[in-house]
Structure 1
């Protein structure tokens, strides 16, 4: 059987239809996967429930997180002037749009979920694909989920504690962060529609909060408060302008735009992806860019550059100065923003694990679907459990530094793969084919960011590179080694069937029309 890449249909599968017998095709763990293990003849598949609006809110909601509310200071402090900082925000938006358009070509040519894993594996083979899968599923995305969940916890508890004099207890932060993850995992496990509704609502909330900031900033500008923009391209006292500083400013800006490729992880669940994927990108990225640029102008309309530079949370300082007692809206908005951000990360990371298992690069269980809800429940649970473990790590921020190069390396390799496949597979159906200058330009940007990051953080980069290479022995043990002993295969078989019966999940039907 082959996977249906064009149309996913509902299937009526009851408990009596489900066969939990051991299997017959090779999977990553060395056991055999049954071609008929999916239940009824109609099959169990992911449903195409993600609309164009859902796609836009996934992109916008995944990009807009805590960064725009908390620390645009990085861009200002490294760009050296208020005028250059605003230009950097706009330039990062345009670069992100260029990268997203490259992914629109990839997503409409390769209509499989999994994002970079799928693209890297198809272009360059199994080992590079697995190395990306390994480091992303075990460290990069779970760490980001843990950090964003902790930010959610901080801002939920902020109205009840004085941040410096009486900060929230660490136990409370951990409980709130865990509550955020577990709640969203349950919602995603129950229904993809519920998950996309959460994304829609919380994206609307965070956008409205930013619109409020933009309105308040516009009012200040109308009053004539323009001191931050007088001689705006002159260096701010105490700052300097340099090539390395500009690179750091661009790095910080592009980090704030991160998440524009998350919709590619859900291609198979997107209705009419050939139309809706590029449309969602062409609508979502410009919306975020306009909001980011106007929000930063509003910050500077209310706060002086010096006030911004000494603030740990620019949005809070902005709210206290403009909203008075109503400034509590800001921490609520940040909490909503991070809650939606965790939901977007969970959607992307669970589909990555699901796709890896379905392509026989992870244990078969992670590629199974709940027989009634049609959601990748095991992949969601695994993602949640790994992310929960990182709540106990004392310095997740530095751990993420080790893997900051992974994001830009994988994006650069994926887009390089797109260029390579134009030569190696010229007959591949490409409903969208963007001008070659855009992918070439973006690959150069990725190389620049990776090289600059390695120069600026050589130890962290080497550690991250070493951990990435640890995926190689995992690959050879888990995938390349086919002749595993019988006792190991029997143990895997019995454990898989037990988990299937417990969670009521089966492999996706891979039938093709």
Structure 2
């Protein structure tokens, strides 16, 4: 989708480069514009933790319990799902330090299987999964902010969607302003959600000291293989986001050292927090109460905290606000990576004088706002949810394939092949069981994924690409450069 640079665009780049930003403590961008490595190890940890922990653990951690049938079995699934995510993260550590490009699994699939497979991954993630997810989390945020004003009923749909749009627009401004501002938002809201969970865990520990263990047993554990597999699907969905730091690896300081450290610390921390939070819930609530509660953390707090229970909805709102920021921060880099490979409009490669990919951030925000107008966006996520695991599994497949086809690549981290093999086998099971259990949803999801094919042939593939698009794309790129004072990143 890229086109040759025009003289107008060159003039825009020169004009943008003359407009140095005010000193905001971030330093001056390199000539030519570029994403800059400004994120520390702590920033990396908060990006992962903040992206994984959304509203689910506060609102409805019931999927695992529903399919396992017992409290103890559900706790084992939470732990196993965390360990499984750590294995995948360990594989991604080698891929991320070997291919140090923004885009994560998109970049790895591009390197291993070529542009067509990479475009399918890019299409479904950019056009449906990421903007839908952001819209849903923003709706959850607005629901919990408005809930105290409507204690006896649900907040009005129009007010909820309007506040969700305001949330997205505010964080879009922050992410366009500077990377440092975006990471600070991520840091502080991650601290807020961890504080809330630590309060719940402390209350649970107090209950355990009082001997409240009557709900912990294996009684009622399901023996059905499909149910157990679906419980893992629910557990792994709760850990989704462990690979988000790989999407912005170009902006991480010393990625060879900090990427594996951030992944290891984050995955271990989230696994511990998730497990202890579920233990805390079951010290006070029975399995029936957990399954029947619309907001488990609120029900738990009402039993133990008295008036302080009113703070839990605010903590859930803070958690979802940080999650929206994390999705926006990482998703924009996926758009940027696709444009850098010529598979999305060239304007999305532009970087402002503040070293932020503002056009890509605006693209994510615009799509998210569009999905806020869809009546049932949850159905779209259900239809293509398995595509996320397919793409992550395909990225892990890249590891053994590149070992064979590209032994010359530098590998600062080299994992034992046992781990990717185990992860690939488990991913096949995780994807196939829900496909058998819900063939209609899977079929619709596959059709949605295949919509990438005509777009690839008409807009990307050089031999079949529609002629005459260059004039339109050049004009659009010129306009975006003027509006955002953006330039092409300096090629590495």
Residues of 1 paired with 2:48 and 2:130: CA distance? 16
Query: Structure 1 runs of 4+ off > 4 angstroms?
Result: 34-41, 482-487
Does structure 1 residue 153 correspond to structure 2 residue 142? yes
Residues of 1 paired with 2:267 and 2:424: CA distance? 19
Residue 420 of structure 1, aligned match among 401, 422, 444: 401
Residues of 1 paired with 2:430 and 2:234: CA distance? 11
Residues of 1 paired with 2:382 and 2:466: CA distance? 39
Does structure 1 residue 68 correspond to structure 2 residue 53? no
User: CA shift at 1:495, angstroms?
Assistant: 2.6
Contact (CA 8 Å) 1:181, 1:384: kept in 2 or not?
Answer: yes
Q: Deviations over 1:7-29 (max 9, x none)?
A: xxxxxxxxxxxxxxxxxxxxx24
What secondary structure is seen at the aligned counterpart in 2 of 1:32?
coil
Does structure 1 residue 104 correspond to structure 2 residue 93? yes
TM-score normalized with structure 1 length: 0.90
Residue 233 of structure 1, aligned match among 202, 218, 225: 218
Residue 270 of structure 1, aligned match among 252, 266, 279: 252
Does structure 1 residue 364 correspond to structure 2 residue 346? yes
Residues of 2 paired with 1:180 and 1:57: CA distance? 20
Residue 172 (structure 2) aligns with: 185
Residue 57 of structure 1, aligned match among 46, 53, 56: 46
Residues of 1 paired with 2:467 and 2:230: CA distance? 54
User: CA shift at 1:34, angstroms?
Assistant: 6.4
Count of residues paired in the alignment: 475
Q: Deviations over 1:283-329 (max 9, x none)?
A: 11100110011000000001111211211211111111111111111
Residues 124-273 of structure 1: matches in 2 within 5 Å? 124-162=113-151, 165-229=152-216, 232-235=217-220, 240-273=222-255
User: CA shift at 1:176, angstroms?
Assistant: 1.1
What secondary structure is seen at the aligned counterpart in 1 of 2:257?
helix
TM-score normalized with structure 2 length: 0.94
Residue 300 of structure 1, aligned match among 282, 288, 291: 282
Does structure 1 residue 397 correspond to structure 2 residue 378? yes
What secondary structure is seen at the aligned counterpart in 2 of 1:228?
coil
Residues of 2 paired with 1:319 and 1:465: CA distance? 42
User: CA shift at 1:414, angstroms?
Assistant: 0.4
Does structure 1 residue 32 correspond to structure 2 residue 4? yes
Q: Deviations over 1:158-211 (max 9, x none)?
A: 11112xx42101111001111111111100000100000001000000001000
What secondary structure is seen at the aligned counterpart in 1 of 2:215?
helix
What secondary structure is seen at the aligned counterpart in 1 of 2:372?
helix
Q: Deviations over 1:366-412 (max 9, x none)?
A: 11111x21100000001000011111111111110111111100001
User: CA shift at 1:120, angstroms?
Assistant: 0.6
What secondary structure is seen at the aligned counterpart in 1 of 2:342?
coil
Note closer, same or farther for the CA distance 1:488–1:246 as it changes in structure 2 (3 Å cut): closer
Contact (CA 8 Å) 2:143, 2:155: kept in 1 or not?
Answer: yes
| Structure 2: unaligned runs, 5 residues or longer | 18-29
Contact (CA 8 Å) 1:117, 1:129: kept in 2 or not?
Answer: yes
Contact (CA 8 Å) 2:384, 2:448: kept in 1 or not?
Answer: no
Contact (CA 8 Å) 2:175, 2:361: kept in 1 or not?
Answer: yes
Residues of 1 paired with 2:236 and 2:465: CA distance? 45
Could you tell which deviates more after superposition, 488-497 or 418-427? 488-497
RMSD: 1.6
Residue 469 of structure 1, aligned match among 422, 439, 450: 450
Residue 373 of structure 1, aligned match among 319, 344, 354: 354
Residues of 2 paired with 1:400 and 1:355: CA distance? 23
Contact (CA 8 Å) 2:201, 2:277: kept in 1 or not?
Answer: yes
Residues of 1 paired with 2:477 and 2:66: CA distance? 53
| Structure 1: unaligned runs, 5 residues or longer | 1-27
Residue 26 (structure 2) aligns with: none
Residue 431 (structure 1) aligns with: 412
Contact (CA 8 Å) 2:359, 2:480: kept in 1 or not?
Answer: no
